[in-house]
Amino acid sequence: MSASKQTILSVEHLKKYFQTASGQLHAVDDINFTLAKGETLGVVGESGCGKSVLCKSILHLLPQTAKIKSGKIIVDGTDVTAYREREMTALRGSLFSMVFQDPMTALDPTMTIGAQIAESVLAHKPTLEKTAVRERVVELLELVGIDRAQERMALYSHNFSGGMRQRVVLAIALAGDPRILFADEPTTALDVTIQAQILDLLRDVQRKLGTATVFVTHDLGVVARVADRVAVMYAGKIIETGTAEEIFYDPRHPYTWGLLRSLPALSRGKETLPSIPAYRGRSLTRRKATPSPAAMSTPSPSTTRKRRRCSASATRTMPQHGCSTNARRRSRRRWEVRDDKT
């Protein structure tokens, strides 16, 4: 991270658990990361590893059964770890906001999209006159790429496609001019073409507004496209952090290797994809039952074929504009040197 960039979010040794009938479930376990103004941090990992819980912990959106055991959440220089609901309500939408996975559950089917966006605008600026609110709604719709905004603001969510609904949700999230945007799997329910459009939209909005973004996904191709830095999560822990180039071209942790090796590829034919090991028949509420990512076979110089596969997967996943030509050449040279030593 550039020293000139201001740190807007800092999470220090955060531990969060759920109190269940079987005991404590450690969903977030000793998490540390920072986020700079205008930066996109991709949080990647398999489903259930704690990505969404991490975001909701920062926004205090979890049920009362979720407890913070230790750690700090510092937003724009202020420690909000112990903030109560009234204090957090004042920050949500204005300091940070969230785009959820399914736009259909985020939108009210009985209200027009214009009314829903206006509701969010008035929540942050209650003194605005009706004309100003309408202008702001049109501005937000145009910002997220919805044309004929004045006409379409009178429509309902069922009149829109999945991609258009996600644009509306993004407009609502941006209504309070947040400095931090949490995007929780915002493209999961969309087809590949619409995914690309939404990802490009998020980058475009970020450039225009200077918003910092925490992008949560289990899709390595998506995180390679949007992220400046990547944090890999496993079983409630961040086990590796680096730039997108470092994670995709020079992964250090066995679990990161496992994720990259599990990417499907047509060139592999009928070969079975490598799996990520896990314990069976034991409760994850017990800390000792959590499988260790180090239990995976760490790539060694003798596994030439595995290295080539992982390198090829990374090359396919990493978009051309996300990595410089020199970096790709350096990466290929690294793999060639390692293979020559076998």
pLDDT tens per residue across span 114-142: 999 999 999 999 999 999 999 999 999 99
pLDDT digit string (tens) for 212-252? 999 999 888 888 889 999 999 999 999 999 998 899 888 99
Tokens of 324: 């410089």
Residues whose CB falls within 8 Å of the CB of residue 176, separated by 6 or more in sequence, listed in order: 93, 94, 97, 120, 121, 123, 124
Of the candidate ranges 24-28, 160-164, 251-255, 300-304, the one whose mean pLDDT is the lowest: 300-304
Q: Where are the domains of the chain?
A: 8-238
Task: Please compute the mean of the pLDDT values over residues 15-25 and round it to a whole number.
Answer: 88
Task: Please compute the mean of the pLDDT values over residues 202-208 and round it to a whole number.
Answer: 91
Estimate the crossing angle of helix 113-124 against helix 130-143, to 10 degrees.
110
Taking CA 16 as the corner, what is the angle to CA 11 and CA 22, rounded to the nearest 5 degrees? 165
119 vs 317, higher pLDDT:
119
Strand spans (E) along the chain: 7-20, 23-36, 40-44, 66-75, 78-79, 96-99, 180-184, 212-217, 229-234, 237-243
Q: So what's the pLDDT on residue 221?
A: 83
Phi and psi torsions of 237, nearest 5°: -120, 150
Amino acid at 39: E
Q: How far apart are CA 207 and CA 193, in angstroms?
A: 22
Q: So what's the pLDDT on residue 105?
A: 84
Residue 329 burial (CB count, 10 A): 10
Q: So what's the pLDDT on residue 83?
A: 94
CATH numeric code, 8-238: 3.40.50.300
